[in-house]
Amino acid sequence: MKLLIVGLSGTTHLGRSFLTAAENLGLEAKLVDTTEAYQAPWLLRQVNWRLRGRYPAQLPRLSQAIVEECLNFQPHCLLVTGLGPVDALSMQKIASLGIHRFNFLTDDPFNPAHRAPWFLEALPHYDLIFSPRRANIGDLKNCGCGRVEYLPFGYDTDLFYPDPSPHHQEPPLLPFPDSTQTSPDVIFAGAADADRLPYMEALIAAGFQVALYGKYWDRYPQTKSYSLGQANITTLRSAIGAAKVALCLVRRANRDGHCMRSFEVPAIGGACMLTEDTPEHRELFGPEGESVIYFGTIAEMVNKTHWLLAHDRERQRLAASAHRLVTQGGHSYQDRLKTILTCCET
């Protein structure tokens, strides 16, 4: 089977992860890298983004390049990740070639931060949309998508695995304000969305040593001292492996019921997950105390963090249980790709 993937090729992007998964499955696969989709002079980028509905400057060129790759490579399946730059006309051309057309929809296209008319116009021309969020399945069907199925995120086995020596990282984790402690009580890896700030403020106010990895935490005076910047994969593995508790928050603007970290954190292991209580998280991890601890409010998050830090053995048991569940339960992107490709046969 031949598979053509459209997406970003960077280390942590799903385009690359699906390409690796395809190669591991012995498929003949290619990746069309969409890194250049929005490249243009600054003024044109602003006009395209603000006035033309987040229009990629290179959309016509990349769309045509994908059609030509389909003609040359003749794949059985086209897998587009997220808001991939393939316009409606090109999707129709690809359909005429008899190629199965799938999209793994990493973001919610109805989120105002992502809403793009050109992409919504192309969506009905896919054979099947895989959404890692149940909340937008009805909206996708209402906008003309004939077949939509829920498929959770997963993890890349080449990137997310236990650090062999998290407590001996060189250089060591950065120290925290007014403390000689170098390993965090609580770690959070993700961008500083405004609705996440109160959670971090509460943890800091409660006296926990908090490590924040991701964009923009240094913009807020409350969290600036705890911001450790954008972590690479090696740093992230080491930091999560050394932390006691890993906070797992969903992205509300995306209507997420879980997120990529829901799988990546337990795949790394080490830290016990303190997880936002959602139906999708409970479907994955089971009842509270089986593999993770849930919280619904900020106060509950703080109280349960205190409890976890006071119970080392239980914290370690939970971390080990979540690690087994994710790594032995068929949750890698190779497993997700197998699910997607079975739809080529139906």
Cα 18 → chain centroid: 13
pLDDT tens digit string along 289-315?
999 999 999 999 999 999 999 999 999
* 320: confidence class by pLDDT, cuts 50, 70, 90: very high
Instruction: Please report which residue ranges of the chain form alpha helices under DSSP H.
Output: 14-24, 42-51, 59-73, 88-96, 117-122, 137-142, 197-205, 233-242, 261-268, 279-285, 298-309, 312-328, 333-342
Verify that 125 and 6 share a domain, yes or no. yes
Residue 45 lies in a domain: yes
114 and 255: one domain? no
Whether 157 is covered by a domain: the verdict is no
Let me know whether 201 and 276 are in one domain: yes
Higher-pLDDT residue of 70 and 113 is 70
Closest CA to 191 of 260, 269, 279, 266: 260
- 213 and 140 in a single domain? The answer is no
Is residue 322 domain-shared with residue 341, that is, in the same domain? Answer: no
Is 270 inside any structural domain? Answer: yes
Q: Please write the tens of the pLDDT for every residue from 120-167.
A: 999 999 999 999 999 999 999 999 999 999 999 999 999 999 987 645
Question: Each residue of 221-275: pLDDT tens digit?
Answer: 999 999 999 999 999 999 999 999 999 999 988 999 999 999 999 999 999 999 9
pLDDT attached to residue 16: 96
Q: Is residue 308 part of a domain?
A: yes
With a cut of 50, say whether residue 113 has pLDDT above it: yes
Give me the residues paired with residue 103 across strands. 80, 129
Does residue 321 share a domain with residue 172? yes
- pLDDT at site 158: 95
Region 187-199 average pLDDT: 95
Domain that holds residue 55: 2-152+332-345
Do 50 and 6 lie in a common domain?
A: yes
Q: Is 346 or 28 the better-scoring residue by pLDDT?
A: 28
Average pLDDT value for residue range 68-90: 97
The model's confidence at residue 182, banded by pLDDT at 50, 70 and 90, is: low
d(CA 195, CA 197): 6
Please check whether residue 172 lies inside any domain of the structure. yes
Is-cis flag, bond preceding 184, omega within 30? no
Please indicate, yes or no, if residue 219 is contained in any of the structural domains: yes
pLDDT of residue 178: 56
158 located within any domain? no
Q: Are residues 313 and 250 in the same domain?
A: yes
At residue 172, does pLDDT exceed 50? Answer: no
Residue 326 above 80 pLDDT? yes
Cβ-contact 175, 182 below 8 angstroms: yes
Structure-token match 């337990």, residue found: 266
pLDDT at 168: 46
Residues 16 and 9: beta-carbon distance below 8 Å: yes
Q: Looking at the structure, tell me whether residues 183 and 307 fall in a common domain.
A: yes
Q: Can you read off the two tokens belonging to residue 35?
A: 């890194």
pLDDT at 181: 64
* 210 and 108 both lie in a single domain: no
CATH number at residue 295: 3.40.50.2000
| Number of independent structural domains in the chain | 2
The set of residues, in sequence order, having a beta carbon less than 8 Å from that of 267 and lying 6+ positions away, is: 155, 157, 160, 161, 323, 326, 327, 331
Residues 178 and 122 in one domain: no
Based on the fold, state whether residues 33 and 178 are members of the same structural domain: no
Instruction: State the pTM of this model.
Output: 0.93
Query: Within a domain: residue 7?
Result: yes
What is the average per-residue pLDDT within 169-183? 56
Return the pLDDT at 165. 63
> What rounded mean pLDDT belongs to the chain?
93
